[in-house]
């Protein structure tokens, strides 16, 4: 069964295995509609007693999740408190990470900023060796990562590499630094992820959930760190130099199809 929730499509492969497809043309921006759709999908995941594994993928092979919508229109949606009581983004990523359901990101195309932070909160990430591009470009736009990048990346890749990714604000291919579980040749990616998802879905829900909760100990950022990161992002948005820099990037093509979005790491670099 396939069902559309806002710009997010759910395909129930079986009772224990769902695929969630992002379909928010033209860039899969994390705007208010997509963020609301994600919250609705997560609520459905939490309500299922049979689900074991969910795979997140994109209908656009150039953009998995481009980044947060920097126009400002999505800000109220991502700041509103979620069911956990945390602000929207920390609420989303912590609920995903702590869910008994196993989450997997299958990445083709660009995944930057909040998109990167979403896949970092997934339990596993598998990426197309030829087509995946990842990055945290926020510092180059005058802000700091606000959805968990500064909290997840040091735990995943180590302090020095996290600083290179965040402070360099450049694009990275899928094979750099353990940013993802593994990079798979594009022609093999669908079958690889599907086979692993079906294997996991064949196991009992209780041992899967318990094993995940044990691994989570010490590997998930505390709530207060994620909230602090979001507060820092919101503060940076008020700086005059940041408003000027973001306005310039929007004027040059940020949030719109074209060279800026295709090669954002270069465009936020030295001018």
Residue 5 has pLDDT above 70, yes or no: no
List the catalytic residue out of 3, 40, 130, 138.
138
In this predicted model, what pLDDT tens digit does every residue of 27-38 receive, in sequence order?
Answer: 999 999 999 999
Residues near 93 by Cβ (< 8 Å), separated by ≥ 6?
Answer: 117, 118, 120, 121, 147, 148, 226
Residues near 263 by Cβ (< 8 Å), separated by ≥ 6?
Answer: 171
* pTM for this predicted structure: 0.96
Q: What's the token pair of residue 49?
A: 């007693």
List the catalytic residue out of 40, 73, 117, 130.
117
Check residues 4 and 132 and name the one with the higher pLDDT: 132
3-state secondary structure of 249: helix
In this predicted model, what pLDDT tens digit does every residue of 146-167 receive, in sequence order?
Answer: 999 999 999 999 999 999 999 9
Instruction: Give the rounded percent of residues in the chain with a pLDDT score beyond 90.
Output: 92
Confidence of residue 255 (pLDDT cuts 50, 70, 90): very high
Estimate to the nearest angstrom the gap between the alpha carbon of 48 and the chain centroid: 22
Beta bridge partners of 109: 132
Residue 124 has pLDDT above 80, yes or no: yes
* pLDDT, the chain, mean: 95
| 175 flagged as catalytic | no
Check residues 73 and 21 and name the one with the higher pLDDT: 21
| 138 flagged as catalytic | yes
């Amino acid at each position: 069964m396939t069902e559309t929730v806002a710009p997010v499509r759910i395909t129930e492969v079986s009772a224990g295995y769902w695929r969630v497809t992002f379909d928010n043309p033209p860039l899969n921006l994390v705007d208010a509609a997509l963020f609301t759709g994600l919250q609705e999908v997560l609520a459905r995941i939490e309500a299922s007693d049979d689900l074991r594994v969910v795979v997140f993928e994109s209908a656009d092979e150039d953009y998995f999740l481009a980044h947060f919508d920097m126009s400002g229109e999505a800000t109220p949606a991502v700041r509103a408190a979620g069911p956990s009581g945390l602000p929207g983004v920390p609420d989303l990523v912590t609920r995903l990470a702590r869910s008994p359901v196993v989450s997997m990101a299958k990445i083709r195309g660009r995944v930057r900023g909040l998109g990167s932070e979403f896949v970092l909160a997934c339990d596993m990430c598998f990426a197309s060796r030829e087509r995946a591009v990842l990055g945290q470009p926020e510092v180059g736009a005058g802000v700091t990562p606000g959805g968990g990048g500064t909290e997840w990346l040091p735990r995943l890749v180590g302090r020095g590499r996290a600083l290179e990714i965040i402070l360099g604000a450049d694009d990275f291919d899928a094979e750099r630094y353990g940013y993802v579980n593994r990079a798979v040749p594009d022609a093999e990616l669908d079958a690889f992820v599907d086979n692993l998802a079906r294997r996991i879905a064949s196991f009992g829900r209780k041992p899967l959930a318990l094993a995940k909760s044990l691994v989570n100990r010490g590997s998930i950022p505390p709530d207060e760190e994620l909230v602090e990161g979001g507060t820092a992002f919101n503060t940076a948005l008020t700086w005059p130099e940041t408003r000027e820099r973001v306005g310039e990037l929007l004027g040059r093509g940020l949030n719109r199809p074209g060279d800026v979005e295709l090669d954002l790491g270069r465009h936020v670099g030295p001018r």
